[in-house]
Structure 1
Amino acid sequence: MSGQPPIPTNNSKSNIDRFLGFQHEYDRYRPQAPAVIIDLLTAYLGSRPSLVVDVGCGTGLSTVLWAPAADSVIGVEPNPDMLSKALEKLDKHGDEAAPQNLSFVQGYSNQLQLESDSVDIVTCSQSFHWMEPVSTLQEIARCLRVGGVFAAYDCDWPLPLQQDIELRYNRLITKADDVLSQLVPAEERAHKWDKAGHLARIEASGWFSFSREIVFHNNEACDAERYVGLTLSQGGIQAVLKHGSSLLDADIAEFTAAVEQYFQGRTLKVMVSYRMRIGQK
């Protein structure tokens, strides 16, 4: 009996499994990538991209952005639940309405099933910090054509709202990590690389002739349910809840009450801040 193919070297099963089981909540509450990303990266490329590859694409929140702006778009995701949600959304378009140039495949950041020098733009939306950077950057550089652009971009958490709520958010994230350290042996925990080091890693790789950081923002509609849902979609909190622990229950209840008190049933515009680190081959 054949099983799943082995995970390539330098990939962490714990990192991949961290996102099992909450693909619906992730897709519902997380921000979609703003259109300014297309403008920025296409300007650096200097032309309409023939092929864009979104690595660690999750449920496709950033992948679908490119469908009207590139000849071909591929989302690559190792987690089967996240990938299934992306494919489900694509299927719901219907045969006639679905973008014919958009596809999703299961794969890994350091073992992409792509030809060398074939990709114009590679993006990692809120995902690069889960990837072993040395082997990932080498593989991305292999796939990019000369002049091609790699971009890793992330949101700043929490979304700016109000001091008390943001402090509660930070305490909740910290407590989730502390609880996980009690529930899960160190060797079985997910590991992420510091986002602040992304640019330095791109520069140190030696694969890119140009690199820089770009900061921008996008305003999105948000109510209390979404703000709380986005908070609970964070990996550390989800990991605690999946372990069946009740140690965060009181903190979550207090956080939810504070958020509901702030929004008072309103839907407001909330700023989503992004930090993009790019490398051009």
Structure 2
Amino acid sequence: MDNHSKPLGSGADPRHIPEGNRQSNVERFSGYENTYDQYRPEAPEQVINILTGYLQQKPSLVVDLGCGTGLSSFVWKDEAERIIGIEPNDDMRGKAEEKLQEQDNTEHISFAAGYFNQIGLEASSVDIITCSQSFHWMEPASTLKEAARILRPEGIFAVYDCDWPPSLHWPIEQSYHELIEFSEIIIDRHIEEGRKAHKWNKNEHLKHIRESGLFRFAKEIVFHHMEPCTAERYVGLAISQGGVQTLLRLGIQELNPAIDAFRKQVEEYFHGETREVMFSYRMRLGIK
């Protein structure tokens, strides 16, 4: 195993899932790492600016929990002395490692198999922990306890999520919501309860941080980021959602007509053009 990929603690053992983690949450992301990486946004520069501003220095170590394909890890390449992305899903982490091998000057970046409440790093060793589009898949209490253990005093735990869909045109956004809701209805009909992934409520992230008693300061920050977007990418963002991918992976075709209708609607609106689209983010952070 090379220096870019090494397990951290017992959480990296696929035969043992620490209490508080769900195998169904890990498996939800299997098999669509390429689609995810192609259409999902990289972490915007505001994340770097906000967190380094609070830290008041270049971080020595950033840990990206639930890093997926590295979209939220590589942005720290020139902004931190060391970056570790932790991801329990082999397919997602494999894509991140593949991208790592394609880049130069990445000796200070690594990806590791691990679970969020058993990270395995030394106590008080981390400056910043980020969870990009991932904290709602983690059991909050045990994750926050482990985060506080490895953060140094005045270190930062930051959760940030993108509002779906990006702001564009209300009929399209409404169709997007209806498509995602329909995918979850179909999942409820076809997948037994014990095999479903479980999400914690994103609107309670700040509450969990505050009520943990582990952080001296906590707040929510809202910001926006404009990105160029084509019809293909906007449709791809919808298709990259976990519920849609679950149905595609299982070969359940009930959603396909709705996907086709959504694609046609988006293509008619974009009319072959590239448009600037607003991605809106909500960051909840705690200072240890």
Tell me the TM-score range normalised by the shorter chain: over 0.9
Q: TM-score, normalised by structure 2?
A: 0.94
State the match for 2:43 in structure 1. Answer: 33
- Please list, as runs of the form range in 1=range in 2, the aligned pairs for 1:52-91 lying within 5 A after superposition: 52-91=62-101
CA distance in 1, matches of 2:69, 2:23: 18
Task: Give the Cα–Cα distance (whole angstroms) in 1 for the partners of residues 30 and 270 of structure 2.
Answer: 30
In the TM superposition, structure 1's runs of 4+ consecutive aligned residues that sit over 6 Å from their partners are none
CA distance in 1 between partners of 2:273 and 2:123 (Å): 50
Shift of 1:187: 1.5
CA contact (8 A) 1:90 1:98 kept: no
What is the CA distance between 1:36 and its match in structure 2?
1.5
Displacement of 1:117: 0.4
* SS of structure 2 residue aligned to 1:251: helix
Partner of 1:254: 261
Residue in 1 aligned with 2:15? 5
Q: Deviations over 1:77-98 (max 9, x none)?
A: 00000000000000112xxx23
Counterpart of 1:100 in structure 2 is: 107
Paired residue for 1:48? Answer: 58
Superposition CA RMSD, Å: 0.9
Contact 1:176-1:248 at 8 Å conserved across structures: yes
- TM-fit CA distance, 1:113: 1.8
Number of the residue aligned with 1:152 = 159
SS of alignment partner, residue 9 of structure 1: coil
State whether residues 129 and 192 of structure 1, in contact with CA within 8 Å, keep that contact through their aligned partners in structure 2: yes
**TM-score between both structures, scaled by the size of structure 1:** 0.97
1:222 CA drift (Å)? 0.4
SS at 2:19's partner residue?
Answer: coil
Match of 2:144 in 1: 137
Paired residues, what number? 276
Partner of 1:273, secondary structure, is strand
2:250 to 243, 252, 276: 243
Tell me, yes or no, if structure 1 residue 162 matches structure 2 residue 169.
Answer: yes
**Following the alignment from structure 1 to structure 2, what is the Cα–Cα distance between the partners of residues 144 and 190?**
28
Q: Which amino acid aligns with 1:136?
A: T
Q: Provide the C-alpha distance between the structure 2 equivalents of 1:5 and 1:207, rounded to a whole number of angstroms.
A: 31
Q: Tell me the amino acid that sits aligned with residue 82 of structure 2.
A: S
Identical counterparts, % of pairs: 52
**CA–CA distance in 2 between the matches of 1:39 and 1:230?**
25
- Secondary structure at the counterpart of residue 175 of structure 2: helix
Does the residue aligned with 1:49 lie in a helix, a strand or coil?
coil
Aligned to 2:5: none
Aligned AA (1:275): R
Q: Which residue pairs with 2:3 in the alignment?
A: none
Shift of residue 4 of structure 1?
3.5
Paired with 1:255 and 1:98, the residues of 2 have a C-alpha distance of: 41
AA at the equivalent of 1:225? E
* Match 1:16 to one of 26, 33, 44: 26
The secondary structure found in structure 1 opposite 2:94 is helix
Q: Is the 8 A contact 1:217 1:274 kept in 2?
A: yes
1:247-269 CA-to-partner distances (Å, cap 9, x unmatched) read 10110010000000000100111
Shift of 1:157: 0.3
Q: Name the aligned partner's letter for residue 8 of structure 1.
A: P
